[in-house]
């Protein structure tokens, strides 16, 4: 997923970050039931670090 690192709308930016964190943490548990492969732990950690760089 590509998103702007600097979000123009702070409320939407905050919601985006909340959604991305949910998708990587809690949403990941739904992957197998939807026939998706879960992310490897090293990739998951890289994604979480990148989410932290999004400013809003």
Q: What is the pTM of this model?
A: 0.86
Q: What digits encode the pLDDT tens for the residues 1-56?
A: 899 999 999 999 999 999 999 999 999 999 889 999 989 999 999 999 999 999 99
DSSP the chain: ----SB-SSHHHHHHHHHHHHHHHHTGGGGTGGGT-PPPPHHHHHHHHHHHTT-B-
The span from the CA of 56 to the CA of 52, in Å, is: 11
Q: What pLDDT, on a 0 to 100 scale, did the predictor assign at position 1?
A: 86
């Amino acid at each position: 997923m590509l998103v702007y690192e600097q979000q123009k709308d702070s409320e939407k930016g905050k919601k985006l970050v909340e959604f991305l964190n949910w998708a990587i943490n809690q949403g990941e548990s739904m992957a197998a039931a939807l026939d998706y492969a879960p992310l490897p732990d090293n990739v998951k950690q890289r994604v979480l670090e990148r989410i932290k760089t999004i400013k809003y």
